[in-house]
Amino acid sequence: QVQLVESGGNLVKPGGSLRLSCAAPGFPFSDYYMSWIRQAPGKGLEWVSYISNSGNTIYYADSVRGRFTISRDNGENSLYLQMNSLRAEDTAVYYCARVDVYSRYYYGMDVWGQGTTVTVSS
């Protein structure tokens, strides 16, 4: 069964660090781009980052660039998000998602995890 399972969310103080993980059993993980998306309490969706299947291409939202690092381990079928210098505005549910490519050009996030909650507060 295709699924994504996030972990690592927690309560952390401003300025602290956290590492999120996303386990991806059930499909050929190394064939897919992957992405992180977050949702602040009561708010909409915000794309955070994506990484190509090989890990060679990475993009970040301006709001996290320089503080967050996306990575993957294709041997372990896992995606990661290292979050440093955390701020109150990083408080959100963080989702990992599989990125499918349709007709070679059109990217869509077709499988999502259940989310993991990050709370940044003193």
Partner 1 sequence: DIQMTQSPSSLSASVGDRVTITCRAGQTIRIYLNWYQQKAGKAPQLLIYAASSLQSGVPSRFSGSGSGTDFTLTISSLQPEDFATYYCQQSYSIPWTFGQGTKVEIK
Residues that bind partner 1 (CB under 8 A): 35, 37, 44-47, 50, 59, 61-62, 95, 100, 102-103, 105-110, 112-115
Nearest approach, Cβ of 75 to partner 1 (angstroms)?
26
Nearest approach, Cβ of 78 to partner 1 (angstroms)?
18
Nearest approach, Cβ of 13 to partner 1 (angstroms)?
27
15/108 with CB nearer partner 1 = 108
Nearest approach, Cβ of 109 to partner 1 (angstroms)?
6
What stretches of the chain adopt beta strand conformation (E)?
A: 5-7, 11-12, 18-23, 33-39, 45-51, 58-60, 68-73, 78-83, 92-102, 106-112, 116-120
Task: Count CB neighbours of 7 within 10 A.
Answer: 12
Question: Token pair for residue 106?
Answer: 């059109």
29/95 with CB nearer partner 1 = 95
25/108 with CB nearer partner 1 = 108
Query: What is the rounded distance in angstroms from the CA atom of residue 95 to the CA atom of residue 88?
Result: 18
C-beta separation of 95 from 39 below 8 A: yes
